């Protein structure tokens, strides 16, 4: 069974739980915004150099700055979350978008999900192969369709129809992930993903 097919459901559960926790916190901090993000599960690889660790931390700091700026200027939590995840999807250090892991066939299939805690509306895409920023398409699924999830070729076709940026599948290739794919018969590293939760004013 392919565990990646359940990733949107797992992420939606995670976001729902965090949204609940943030809502409780926000009731105590009326008028302030909150933003939480992560760049992967499982911590740094055992062989990560200090330079690589600093690159990850600096990238997370930059992603956080993007979200904070949107929220400080009165932007919505959805805009902040989407732009933070866009940044992480475009950064080859993270297993999301460019830098995503290879499938067993040596290609890339990407997933993303988003939820609006106020009304619990959700949108997700799974197994997209040409969508540059899957989180943006997931948001459009939530806002422009009556569905919750589009997958595979149907999701790619929806992205084309809605005009989201598309790329050739090779865009997602990075040497680090290619090397990991070549070594895929070795013990697996901890699972990775990215995430962001925000609450606007």
What is d(CA 75, CA 141) in angstroms, rounded to the nearest whole number?
21
The pLDDT tens digits for 13-51 are 555 555 555 555 555 555 688 899 888 766 777 788 999
Q: Annotated catalytic residue: which of 19, 103, 145, 193?
A: 193
Q: Which of 154, 113, 115 is nearest to 135 (CA)?
A: 113
Q: Band the pLDDT of 198: cuts 50, 70, 90.
A: confident
Q: For the whole prediction, is pTM greater than 0.85?
A: no
Using pLDDT thresholds of 50, 70 and 90, give the confidence band for residue 1.
very low
Tell me how many domains the chain contains: 1
In tens, the pLDDT along 77-91 reads: 999 999 999 999 999
Q: What CA–CA distance (Å, rounded) separates 191 from 130?
A: 23
Q: Are 91 and 59 spatial neighbours (Cβ–Cβ below 8 Å)?
A: yes
The angle formed by the CA atoms of residues 168, 173 and 175, to the nearest 5 degrees, is 155
Distance, CA of 135 to CA of 82 (rounded, Å): 6
Give pLDDT, residue 88: 95
Beta bridge partners of 137: none
User: Has 193 been annotated as catalytic?
Assistant: yes
The pLDDT tens digits of the residues spanning 117-169 come to 899 999 999 999 999 999 999 999 999 999 999 999 999 999 999 999 999 99
Taken in order 132, 134, 136, 138, is the CA torsion positive or negative? positive
The secondary structure element, H or E, covering residue 111 is strand 110-116
> What is the C-alpha separation between 40 and 158, in angstroms, rounded?
28
Containing structural domain, residue 35: 3-199
Provide the pairing of β-strand 34-38 with 195-199.
antiparallel
């Amino acid at each position: 069974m392919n565990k990646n097919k359940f990733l949107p459901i797992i992420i939606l559960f995670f976001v729902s739980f965090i949204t609940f926790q943030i809502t409780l916190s926000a009731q105590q901090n009326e008028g302030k915004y909150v933003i939480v993000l992560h760049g992967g599960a499982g911590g740094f690889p055992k062989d990560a150099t200090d330079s690589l660790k600093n690159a990850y931390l600096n990238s997370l700091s930059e992603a956080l700055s993007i979200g904070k700026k949107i929220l400080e200027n009165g932007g919505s939590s959805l805009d902040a979350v989407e732009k933070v995840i866009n940044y992480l999807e475009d950064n080859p250090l993270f297993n999301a978008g460019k830098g995503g892991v290879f499938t067993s066939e040596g290609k890339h299939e990407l997933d993303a999900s988003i939820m609006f805690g106020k009304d619990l509306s959700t949108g997700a895409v799974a197994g997209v192969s040409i969508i540059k920023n899957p989180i943006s398409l997931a948001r459009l699924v939530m806002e422009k369709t009556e569905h919750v999830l589009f997958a595979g070729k149907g999701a790619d076709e929806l992205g084309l129809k809605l005009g989201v940026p598309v790329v050739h599948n090779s865009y997602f290739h990075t040497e680090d992930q290619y090397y990991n794919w070549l070594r895929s018969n070795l013990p697996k590293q901890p699972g990775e993903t990215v995430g962001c939760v925000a609450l606007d004013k």
